[in-house]
Amino acid sequence: MAHSGGPRRAALFDVDGTLVDTNYLHAVTWWEAFRQAGHTVPMPDIHRAVGMGGDRLIVHLLGPDRDRSQDGAVSAAHTALYAAYFPKLAPLPGAADLLRALAERGWRVVLASSAGGAELAAMRAAVDADDVIAGATSGDDVDATKPAPDLVRAAVRLSGLPASQALFVGDTVWDMRACGAAGVRCLGLLSGGIPRADLEAAGAAAVYEGLADLLAQLRRGTAMTGA
């Protein structure tokens, strides 16, 4: 049964690796973008950096002493390479079902992604649950992407509820750190390929196998009860 009153809680979601199965696509396309610019960056290092905005990811992986004149070309190459996958993007199991179940229970659903606006639009199309998404913010909307708290704070503002009534769901340590800085409780998912111990060490309040696991526990009343 749908919740009859106004929203009492906000469910904030990362998108890459949380709602849509994209993390390894990003690892491959960033690897190729770096290679085209003459950089050999190990793919495991790239994978662990996914979740940051592109500007932060480049400096994180190449360091402050890199040739910064290449940054724009590397970012543009990644954007073009990744865009080729837009028609093939697939939601992770349970994505739309979880968002709708939360909306039915009185949660206001907001997305908060470090991706640019075009990437976020492609992922939203893959999830196919816009009927229950109250708002979304992307890396284009803030000065600093995750692990800075800006995106999380922007999502809280979009929800219209205080941070104390918000709960974030993400799959990377950058989500956990951004939430810690924003004062928002965060749940971790293993769907992005980051180990449970890493998510817990970064501040995850609880860690779930994936969206289907979270949905099952929501239905049992054992998940998403802390906001």
pTM of the model: 0.94
- β-pairing, 9-13 with 166-170? parallel
40 C-beta neighbours (distance < 10 Å), count = 7
| Percent of the chain at pLDDT exceeding 90 | 92
pLDDT in tens, 159-217: 999 999 999 999 999 999 999 999 999 999 999 999 999 999 999 999 999 999 999 99
Beta strands in the chain (DSSP E): 9-13, 107-112, 133-137, 166-170, 185-189, 206-208
Q: Has domain 9-21+90-220 been given CATH number 3.40.50.10800?
A: no
Tell me what pLDDT residue 88 has: 97
Considering only residues 139 and 4, tell me which one the structure prediction assigns the higher pLDDT: 139
**Rounded mean pLDDT of 42-54?**
95
pLDDT in tens, 118-156: 999 999 999 999 999 999 999 999 999 999 999 999 999
Q: How far is Cα 18 from Cα 97, in angstroms, rounded to an integer?
A: 13
Tell me what pLDDT residue 54 has: 86
Q: Indicate the domain borders of the chain.
A: 9-21+90-220, 23-84
pLDDT in tens, 153-163: 999 999 999 99
| Percent of the chain at pLDDT exceeding 70 | 96
